[in-house]
Structure 1
């Protein structure tokens, strides 16, 4: 089964395919991942977002990290047997970020399971990328107890098989039966995670602009006038079951 999530030309007028990401807060409000000065352009089926960074949160790390992000309107169900492949092409550019510091501002492709707290991601800048695997305390999400480390996030920075300043194809494969995730850049496997401690059930697909800077005693330090530009192709989803 193959499905394509695109229709970016309706991203501002409809939530049928994509919606602004964020999380409900205990006080009843909703924290939006939406930069007020973002420029959004859709051309030739590609989504372009240019975001001068300003959003920040002084006490909750997950709310501070993502600055501007779109979620798929509906989560993608993961097959019990077989695997799911999710792929996107991304071009990333940054302005006034700290040289060599990927986490000072980057473009993201995130697969988020809000039933378990699991996340499988790629982060990219002009000249490098990171693959990311974690189980996180998303607001309002109950993370299963496994008897192992409950919350973690493992980043792996690299330049292997990456084309600087160009579009790169990022693909993540998850096999629920094998408890395994594979990460590919331009068709080449760059990472494999086995014995994933929780069974993932579904993915909300996210296309984002983010930072990753630890909160300090004074609060957020993630914003200092930098700009991040992301270009995204439609997302291709392929499911294969053992019966196929």
Structure 2
């Protein structure tokens, strides 16, 4: 049996909590760190989401809070079938100004599939001239990652350039829980297959973001230096096969 649905309705993007909400994490002091750039320009046109964000947000102590600058979470999670597979497919265009050429992590556009029950994440990152598939288990603030007799926290990036720079590309991630396998596709071509995944994903929050990935230094964040990132996303097609 195959089920398909579209997660989009970007015309509701300002009605936060209806289909999409601003991403972020609660902090130990009871406050909430929100992934929102104050000067971001948000446009919804022809069913597509466009965000132009001059980067300014930084966090000097927590890497995960420094990385994402402007991000939307889906209000509803997608449950992973016990048997069969779930796939997520969309188009993304990434363009930027003031970023370092060839340095994907200086400013990029993202699709993030986040499982807050395990700390696991499957992502695509795209910049002016490069993209990466990402497979990770992360110490998200407030999330209890299950103990492991192997490496508990990790983030494995795989970069490539076989895509259309600064144009729309089609990205797809497929996860099979029974087979512990993840497959990444770009423009219909398989670009990565991750087998023997050590964590069972239970559910995915879909996240659409503008991000950097610059390691914190002893002096704090170095992720912002006047760059602007422009992201465009189509609605996300979710397909469940059981």
Coarse TM-score class (shorter-chain normalised): over 0.9
Distance in 1, Cα, partners of 2:107 & 2:114: 20
Q: What is the TM-score of this pair, normalised by structure 2?
A: 0.98
SS of residue paired to 1:190 = strand
Which residue in the other structure is 1:50 paired with?
A: 52
SS of residue paired to 1:64 = helix
Paired residues, number: 240
Distance in 1, Cα, partners of 2:79 & 2:203: 4
Q: Give the 5 Å matches for 1:19-58.
A: 19-58=21-60
Deviation of residue 163 (structure 1)? 1.0
Which residue in the other structure is 1:205 paired with?
A: 206
Which residue in the other structure is 1:106 paired with?
A: 108
Where do 5+ consecutive residues of structure 2 fail to align?
none
Where do 5+ consecutive residues of structure 1 fail to align?
none
Distance in 1, Cα, partners of 2:198 & 2:143: 17
Which residue in the other structure is 1:229 paired with?
A: 230
Distance in 1, Cα, partners of 2:166 & 2:65: 28
Which residue in the other structure is 2:122 paired with?
A: 120
Deviation of residue 14 (structure 1)? 3.9
Distance in 1, Cα, partners of 2:183 & 2:35: 27
Which residue in the other structure is 2:196 paired with?
A: 195
Distance in 1, Cα, partners of 2:5 & 2:150: 35
Which residue in the other structure is 2:178 paired with?
A: 177
Q: What is the TM-score of this pair, normalised by structure 1?
A: 0.97
Distance in 1, Cα, partners of 2:145 & 2:111: 22
SS of residue paired to 1:63 = helix
> Contact 1:146/1:198 (CA < 8 Å) preserved in 2?
no
Distance in 2, Cα, partners of 1:63 & 1:36: 16
User: Structure 1 stretches (4+) deviating beyond 3 angstroms?
Assistant: none
Distance in 2, Cα, partners of 1:236 & 1:200: 19
Which residue in the other structure is 1:84 paired with?
A: 86
SS of residue paired to 1:181 = strand
